[in-house]
Structures are given as structure tokens and as C-alpha cells.
């Protein structure tokens, strides 16, 4: 079967490191942290005191004020990132091509903030005071819905909800849509705004969040003293395009997406399968789909959440997949700087991965101070490193046992 080639031609992001993809990338390479004191909520009410919040973002820079009021924050981030990605790709969507331009944007928990605020209103003043926009503001598919309306993109249209694997699954699935010929362009990624009272309460209750009060060192993937993830927010959007379509309009190409793997642990609602068995299968599947061998991979953007089991089992999974090459392949967790953006994490990390390929530089894992004997690979500790990267993969693992991996290659 002759599979169509798919390339990345545009990127857009709103993250704790900056309100565009370029500022975010620059922050990553400089080892900057987007983590700070928890300010969206009263930190005194929670054991977690820090968060990776989006700063100084104004939705009205991108969205009409009246429309913005009918959207949850996760949708604001998605629309802004999509508009920046389309502009970056220099893509014109018009009557002629709109039916071949699709949108696939996921969110792990959607409009949680809207739900909390509207439920409070309902309790105080009854159903008549609940906003008529409550449901369309809250549901996770509305990032996709609003982006397609904003762009006039009328092609393949979907939304993925696979917890922390959402962004990676979305991009992988969108890649397959183009590869099989159902669209020429896909606007894809993930968006999340989970720094809300109930979301933070829930993650604190299941002891997933770091209780380290120092913003600078709270997110410390693979470090022996890691004690949980730092909750983050934002969005990442990539423009995927069929190669000939991109070349015919003279588009710049960041990288080629070549492989996708997705598996289920069938094990536990929150804990990863022992040894990262499901993650290992997703990686193998993605490498095989890409037509590569494990030793062809130069860099892995790890899921690396800074939680005890994730980091240990992901390390074990990489050893299972790569054998001896596991000690030669560079692997880093950029969550050490961005925090964990849940459903948007994989999308922002995909952007970081393609930029790493393009710029020939390995992003660091910050705060790696005390080695863990069970995490003994090359995590690109504490500083970025120059390296020619021909092929790289990005991993995401989510509650519910979702595992997703995408593979990118230098475009040739």
C-alpha cells in the first residue's frame, strides 16, 4: 500500500513558559521553569502549593470579546494556538480547500472551571440562572468545534479524550487521517485548563501532585526525590499536511511524522502496568509503523511526570524496547519546565520534539540532582546539548491505561 507522507508545517502554543511556540521553545532550551506559586486558587486550602500557570494571556487578542465569553479557558488556549499555527504554516483556508482541512484537538477534562462556576450558580439561584452556554462551554470537543468554526475548516472533525495521552493520540490519529487520504491538512493537538478547585482537589486526594513548595524544584522527573507532578495548563497545536500538498504551496517543513503506536494496559485506572509493558508495546508499534529500527531513534521526549511509578516504569519500558541502545539514546522530560499539561502535554511535547530535530539540540531534564538507581539512562541532565537528531519519539501515558507514541524524522 502506498501511504501518503505527512509533514509538520506549522506550530502554535500557549504554555506556562510563554504565549507562543517560539518563546516556549526558547525557554525549554535555556532550562527555564514555567512553575510558580499556585495563584489561581487559594493555596492554603491544598497540600500542593505550586502550579505551572499560563501568564498574561489575553483571549481577546485572538477572539472577539463576545465570543470569548462563550468559551472555557481551555478553548481560548486552543483557538489562540490554532490561529498561531495556521499563521506559522502560511496556510489559507478557503471555499476551495476547506472540506479537505480537518481539526482533531483533544482535552483530558475539558471545561472543568465552567462546570464548577455554573454548578455554584445553580445551587445558589436555581436552573434558570445557569448559562445557556454551559454545556457547549464545558464539553471537551468544543476546542475542536470552536477552532473549526474560527478557521472555516470543514473536513474530518474529531476529539480525543485519553487523559494524559490525549495530545499524542490526537496528533497520531490526525496523522492517520491524512496518510489514508481522508484529508490533506489537519489542525491537531491538545488543550487543557485544569487549575480549578475540584481538579486540584481530586489530584491532591489521590496524592498525584508534588507537595514540594519550591516552584523551581517541584517538578523533578527521574530524580530520586521526586514526589509527584506539577499541574500545568495551556495548549499545543501542530499543522500536519500531506507532503505533496505542502510542497505545492511552498510550505516550510519542520519535520516528517512517520510513526504512531497506541495501546491499552488493561491493568489499573491510574497506575501504569508493571514494567511499563503497555508503553513498551506502543513504542514498538510506533517504530515499526515508521519503518525504523530501535537503534535509529536518537531522542525520546519522555512522558516523565515526576511521579514514582511513571518514571521508573517508563525507564524499564525504554530498556525493553531498545535493549543496549537504551543507554545510548538521549531521553528527557520537558515537564521539568512546563509542568504537566495533562491532555495538552503530548501536543506541546510534539512541538518541542520537532524543534529539537530542526535545531539539532537535545532539550534538558531540569532538577536532576539525586540519581535514582532504578532510573539510570541518559536524561540530558540540567542543560541542553547539541546533537544531530534524525529520528525522535514522544511518549504519553494516561490514566485508564492509555499509551501513545509518535515518531518524527528529519525531513529529507
What residues act catalytically? 164
The CA distance from 302 to 359, in Å, is 19
* C-alpha of 38 from chain center: 21
Q: Are 21 and 13 in contact (CB under 8 A)?
A: yes
The residues near 29 (Cβ < 8 Å, ≥ 6 apart) are 359, 361, 363, 384
The CA distance from 398 to 305, in Å, is 11
The CA distance from 343 to 292, in Å, is 28
Amino acid at each position: 500500500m502506498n501511504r501518503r507522507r505527512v509533514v509538520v508545517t506549522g506550530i502554535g502554543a500557549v504554555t506556562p513558559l510563554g504565549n507562543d511556540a517560539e518563546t516556549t521553545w526558547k525557554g525549554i532550551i535555556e532550562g527555564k521553569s514555567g512553575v510558580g506559586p499556585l495563584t489561581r486558587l487559594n493555596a492554603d486550602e491544598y497540600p500542593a502549593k505550586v502550579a505551572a500557570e499560563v501568564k498574561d494571556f489575553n483571549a481577546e487578542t485572538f477572539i472577539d470579546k463576545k465570543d470569548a465569553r462563550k468559551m472555557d479557558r481551555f478553548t481560548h488556549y486552543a483557538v489562540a494556538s490554532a490561529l498561531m499555527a495556521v499563521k506559522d504554516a502560511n496556510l489559507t483556508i478557503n471555499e476551495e480547500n476547506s472540506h479537505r482541512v480537518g481539526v482533531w484537538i483533544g482535552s483530558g477534562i475539558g471545561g472543568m472551571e465552567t462546570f464548577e462556576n455554573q454548578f455554584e450558580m445553580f445551587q445558589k439561584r436555581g436552573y434558570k440562572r445557569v448559562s445557556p452556554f454551559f454545556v457547549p462551554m464545558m464539553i471537551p470537543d468544543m476546542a475542536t468545534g470552536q477552532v473549526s468554526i474560527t478557521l472555516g475548516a470543514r473536513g474530518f472533525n474529531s476529539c480525543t479524550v485519553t487523559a494524559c495521552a490525549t495530545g499524542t493520540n490526537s496528533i497520531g490519529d490526525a496523522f492517520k487521517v491524512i496518510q489514508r487520504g481522508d484529508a490533506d491538512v489537519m489542525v491537531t493537538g491538545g488543550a487543557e485548563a485544569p487549575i480549578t478547585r475540584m481538579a486540584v482537589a481530586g489530584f491532591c486526594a489521590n496524592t498525584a501532585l508534588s507537595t514540594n513548595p519550591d516552584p523551581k524544584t517541584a517538578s523533578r522527573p527521574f530524580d530520586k526525590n521526586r514526589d509527584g507532578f506539577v499541574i500545568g495548563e495551556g495548549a499545543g497545536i501542530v499543522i500536519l499536511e500531506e507532503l505533496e500538498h505542502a510542497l505545492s504551496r511552498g510550505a516550510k517543513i519542520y519535520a516528517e511524522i512517520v510513526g504512531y503506536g497506541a495501546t491499552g494496559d488493561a491493568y489499573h485506572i491510574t497506575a501504569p502496568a508493571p514494567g511499563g509493558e503497555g508503553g513498551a508495546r506502543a513504542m514498538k508499534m510506533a517504530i515499526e509503523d515508521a519503518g525504523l529500527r530501535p537503534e535509529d531513534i536518537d531522542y525520546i521526549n519522555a512522558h516523565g511526570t515526576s511521579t514514582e511509578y511513571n518514571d521508573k516504569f517508563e525507564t524499564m519500558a525504554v530498556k525493553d524496547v531498545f535493549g543496549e541502545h537504551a543507554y545510548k539514546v538521549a531521553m528527557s522530560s520537558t515537564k521539568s519546565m512546563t509542568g504537566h499539561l495533562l491532555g495538552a502535554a503530548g501536543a506541546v511535547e510534539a512541538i518541542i520534539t520537532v524543534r529539537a530535530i530542526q535545531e539539532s539540540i537535545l532539550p534538558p531534564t531540569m532538577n536532576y540532582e539525586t540519581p535514582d538507581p532504578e532510573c539510570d539512562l541518559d536524561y540530558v541532565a540540567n542543560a541542553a546539548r547539541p546533537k544531530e537528531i534524525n529520528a525522535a519519539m514522544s511518549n504519553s501515558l494516561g490514566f485508564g491505561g492509555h499509551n501513545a507514541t509518535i515518531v518524527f524524522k528529519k525531513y529529507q
